[in-house]
Structure 1
Amino acid sequence: MARIGVVSISDGRGHVHARNASFIQSKQDALVASLRAAGHEVIAGADLVATNDLAVSVAREVAAADVDVTVLYYAVWSFPHFTMLAADATRSPLVLVASTDPTEPGLVGMLAAGGALDQIGREHARAWGAPDDPELAATIGVHAKASAAVSSLRGSTFGRFGGRPMGMNTAVANTDQWMRQFGVDVEEIDQYELVLRADKADASEARAAREWLERSTAGVHYDGDKLTPELLERQIRSYLAIREIIEERSLDFSGIKAQPELTENFATMDVTEALLNDPYDWRGPKETHVTATEADMDGALTMQLFKQLSGTPVLFADVRHYHADRDIWDLCNSGQHATWFAARSDDPAENLARVNLYPEVFFFPAGGASVQHIAAPGEMTLGRLTREDGEYRLQLMLGDFESYDAETNQRLVDQSTPEWPHAFARLDAPGEVFLSKFGANHIHAIPGDHRAELRAVCDQLGVRLDEWSRG
């Protein structure tokens, strides 16, 4: 959950504030209790704001607690310039919240304050309701979670292994723009570093990991050519090598080019990427490390935001095919699909029991294992940060992953590449709109409906929202 600051704004007339103080405090206490019941950490101002000095000092005190969002609360009529001073004393996103108790003009106070902020161009959100209303807490929580996700980007480092893959312009972003708009630095790492370290990685640990995969998955389908125990261990050693580099260089998320140098001369990175994006490996539970196939920078940035909002692994896939007769999309890519998506279970064994490791196909002469499964069904938020004329936009939609009987599943995967992972998605967007407007070949997904938080993310980042639905 998020850390939320609460500052209550009052009337500047001493006799009016004295009359209202206990009323304001009771409303603030109820709001704080409701937010804490929703799981948030709440930092309440030490005093009610009824003077210029308090507007600044209370806001600074709350800001010093490094809150994700600051709630300016209006239970009564409040002098608008107190809001202006408090807003100037904090850099966090603001949510102006009004009590709807009709005995006092809290809505009037919020509207006057919001209008004043509009005049100076200070962005803010607004909400209203009874302080103990769970829906109000949920609304505030949406903005707080969005702010926590946005702030998590600032000061982070993206590890870019290799350069532009196969002329793919949408996989490359402007590093100056990333720092200016998102606060993200980019560490450039040559893929040769990965090869060198993989060769030196612990052979006994790679063997143990290979044996774990052989025991845990539905099958490791060695063919003596494109997939051998030695090649699978090379992929695992690549995972160990990147884990070491991540630790040494303090990388927060990453992308691996792979094609064509590694896929033609070393091994594919499919196993490496799946393990990095999974919340477990052969040693047990671990933190996921967002890693994008083909060093897709905007894809990785999208995934990192999605991860912060959902707390789950994030899907990376090509938009491979549209089955118009079924109105479903085959989201399929040789890399990245975390094995967690096979069942979305907290038990790794349940996920891995639905995963097969197949020999790589003709695209990748160096060979290795492809991590194959069909994503489990359920509601999904799908989208991606893309750019139009240099400006970022979030293309967003809701959808459902579907799975069918074994015969149907096989018939569908056989129409593209059966050795790769697949997610069959029914999107809440018309096919002609998606194909005419979507700005990349890669798409990303997380379980559940996170559109409200992502709308708030766009507001906070100054990113245009392109949201599609059939309505």
Structure 2
Amino acid sequence: TIPADVSEKILRFARAGIAAATLRGKSYLSMGSVAMGIAGSIVDPEFFEDYFNMRCISVDMSEFIRRVNENIYDPEEFERAMAWIKANCKQYEDIYNGKDGKTPEQQQAIWEYVAKMVIIARDLMIGNPKLAELGFGEEALGHNAIAAGFQGQRQWTDHMPNGDFMETILNSSFDWNGIREAFVVATENDALNGLAMLFGHLLTGTASGFSDVRTYWSPEAVKKATGFDLDVPGMIHLINSGATTMDATGRQNADGKPAMKPFWEISADEAKACLDATSWVPANLGYFRGGGFSSRFLTRGGMPVTMSRINLVKGLGPVLQIAEGYTYEPPKEIHDQLDKRTDPGWPTTWFVPNLTGEGAFKDVYSVMANWGANHGAFNYGHIGADLITMAAMLRIPVCMHNVPEDQIFRPNAWAAFGMDKEGADYRACANFGPLYR
């Protein structure tokens, strides 16, 4: 008979092993041209091969233009997509551009273009046998991608519609073809954040959120800015230009509470509720000159979530950051004022990390101050223990986490590297080296 706590740790270890094994033979598809100024957008093929046994494949963004211009997509699916968009995607007012905004005819053309971008990006990732029937045998194959990233900014978005709609739809668990497994597509081709999204998705079966780790709000700052008192010790504004999964609206209910479910548990009504909670804002032409549409929603509060990110440090290698906490839904009077101070046309998730009173989790500010980049992935549930186990298997040390010690499970060999568990993790990972090197 195995004690319950040991059984649970074995289960987590097995789940992590399954997730790690899933990476084998797959690729990361980089859809971009010249890497952005974000370090995570510079895809390191050797890192992917050594640590994950994954290939990196790069496709220039001009491939989207070629496939649109030469009709290399399923025309029947495109018509179905446009009908679904008309029925389910509510266009919000143009809050950015005033008289300089796109005309209704131009906006309709952009809707058609971004719908094609969704189909083309998916076809690039996993292929589409329909293309072979249309005479495009090579394009029908796809790239066997388990994750992808779209660079977008700035060469693309200075002239073409942005990738927000494409990324939101692919990262969600439903589209015009019904409920299906969410894809993993990193905004701005931040491959390191894409890996964190992938880990969370493989471990939970749920969609992964991609957000900027944008602003820390203390109770004092909230009081000064809005006149209202905050009933949490502070919060972090997770927001991006409109590519966060619609699952993050929290409209999938579990026992009457907001949740993000594995795709096989989502009902049609719950998918529709996520769509109804989302509106689409015409892009700010000040920096998205080609237009586009950004999702706009507020995540419901009370969901347990885990934020994570991989950082790549020269001379050290990869490290993993983990922060367990909860989504928070402030009173409308607070949210509306703070939202306008950042960007009211983008999706918002207010995140309150669990605090330990020391180190990086001394307070909410310390969590953000110790975060390694302005991007973070988040997944439903407190899955920090799963991430720590999988990171050990992949030889990635964890530099920051707030997981209770009795939940942490690493291979027994880690005990040979000292009694300070964090230091032992670093030494063991350095000694054993990447799993696939």
TM-score range, shorter chain: 0.7 to 0.9
Contact 1:164 1:295 in 2 (8 A): no
Partners of 2:78 and 2:337 in 1: how far apart? 35
Q: Secondary structure at the match of 2:309?
A: strand
Give the direction of change, closer, same or farther, for the CA distance of 1:187–1:419 in structure 2 (3 Å limit). same
User: What residue number does 2:85 align with?
Assistant: 213
Query: Identity over aligned residues, as a percent?
Result: 22
Q: Secondary structure at the match of 1:252?
A: strand
The counterpart of 1:370, out of the listed 290, 294, 299, is 294
Code of the residue aligned with 2:112 in structure 1: it is: E
Contact 1:255 1:294 in 2 (8 A): yes
Contact 1:216 1:352 in 2 (8 A): yes
Q: Secondary structure at the match of 1:414?
A: helix
Partners of 1:278 and 1:451 in 2: how far apart? 22
Contact 2:246 2:275 in 1 (8 A): yes
Q: Secondary structure at the match of 1:160?
A: strand
Once the two structures are TM-superposed, the CA of residue 344 in structure 1 deviates from its matched residue by 4.5
Contact 1:153 1:182 in 2 (8 A): yes
User: What residue number does 1:353 align with?
Assistant: 276
Give the direction of change, closer, same or farther, for the CA distance of 1:422–1:136 in structure 2 (3 Å limit). same
Structure 1: tracts of 5 or more residues without a match: 1-129
Give the direction of change, closer, same or farther, for the CA distance of 1:310–1:411 in structure 2 (3 Å limit). same
User: What residue number does 1:460 align with?
Assistant: 393
Code of the residue aligned with 1:384 in structure 2: it is: R
Give the direction of change, closer, same or farther, for the CA distance of 1:379–1:173 in structure 2 (3 Å limit). same
The counterpart of 1:338, out of the listed 238, 245, 255, is 245
Contact 1:373 1:420 in 2 (8 A): yes
Once the two structures are TM-superposed, the CA of residue 297 in structure 1 deviates from its matched residue by 1.1
The counterpart of 2:112, out of the listed 233, 236, 243, is 233
User: What residue number does 1:302 align with?
Assistant: 196
The counterpart of 2:309, out of the listed 349, 371, 384, is 384
- Equivalences for 1:391-402 in 2 at 5 Å? 391-402=317-328
Q: Which has the larger radius of gyration?
A: 1
Partners of 1:210 and 1:403 in 2: how far apart? 33
Partners of 1:469 and 1:408 in 2: how far apart? 28
Code of the residue aligned with 1:374 in structure 2: it is: L
Once the two structures are TM-superposed, the CA of residue 411 in structure 1 deviates from its matched residue by 1.7
Partners of 1:470 and 1:206 in 2: how far apart? 45
Q: For the aligned residues, what is the CA RMSD?
A: 2.1
User: What residue number does 2:337 align with?
Assistant: 411
Partners of 1:355 and 1:407 in 2: how far apart? 20
Once the two structures are TM-superposed, the CA of residue 462 in structure 1 deviates from its matched residue by 1.2
User: What residue number does 1:136 align with?
Assistant: 6
Code of the residue aligned with 1:169 in structure 2: it is: A
User: What residue number does 1:174 align with?
Assistant: 44
Q: Secondary structure at the match of 1:415?
A: helix
User: What residue number does 1:186 align with?
Assistant: 56
Judge which range, 182-191 or 342-351, deviates more: 342-351
> Alignment length, in residue pairs?
341
Contact 1:315 1:444 in 2 (8 A): yes
What do the CA deviations read for 1:132-191 (whole angstroms, capped 9, x no partner)?
A: x44332121011011111111222101000145432123224211210121111011010
User: What residue number does 1:433 align with?
Assistant: 366
Once the two structures are TM-superposed, the CA of residue 220 in structure 1 deviates from its matched residue by 4.5
What do the CA deviations read for 1:2-47 (whole angstroms, capped 9, x no partner)?
A: xxxxxxxxxxxxxxxxxxxxxxxxxxxxxxxxxxxxxxxxxxxxxx
Give the direction of change, closer, same or farther, for the CA distance of 1:304–1:470 in structure 2 (3 Å limit). closer
- 2:115 pairs with 1:242: no
User: What residue number does 1:45 align with?
Assistant: none
User: What residue number does 1:448 align with?
Assistant: 381
Once the two structures are TM-superposed, the CA of residue 229 in structure 1 deviates from its matched residue by 1.5
Higher relative contact order (CA 8 A, sep 6+): 2
Once the two structures are TM-superposed, the CA of residue 221 in structure 1 deviates from its matched residue by 4.0
User: What residue number does 1:64 align with?
Assistant: none
- 2:168 pairs with 1:274: yes
Structure 2: tracts of 5 or more residues without a match: 95-100, 128-141, 220-229, 253-265, 355-360, 405-437
Contact 1:213 1:220 in 2 (8 A): no
Partners of 1:469 and 1:433 in 2: how far apart? 12
Contact 1:356 1:371 in 2 (8 A): yes
What do the CA deviations read for 1:169-228 (whole angstroms, capped 9, x no partner)?
A: 232242112101211110110100012113324566435423423322454547644971
Partners of 1:149 and 1:374 in 2: how far apart? 30
Code of the residue aligned with 1:394 in structure 2: it is: L
What do the CA deviations read for 1:360-392 (whole angstroms, capped 9, x no partner)?
A: 112201001111111222111111011223411
- Equivalences for 1:254-273 in 2 at 5 Å? 254-273=148-167
Partners of 1:178 and 1:203 in 2: how far apart? 35
Code of the residue aligned with 2:238 in structure 1: it is: L
Partners of 2:162 and 2:323 in 1: how far apart? 31
Contact 1:343 1:350 in 2 (8 A): no
Once the two structures are TM-superposed, the CA of residue 409 in structure 1 deviates from its matched residue by 2.4
* TM-score w.r.t. length of structure 1: 0.68
Contact 1:360 1:369 in 2 (8 A): yes
User: What residue number does 2:235 align with?
Assistant: 328
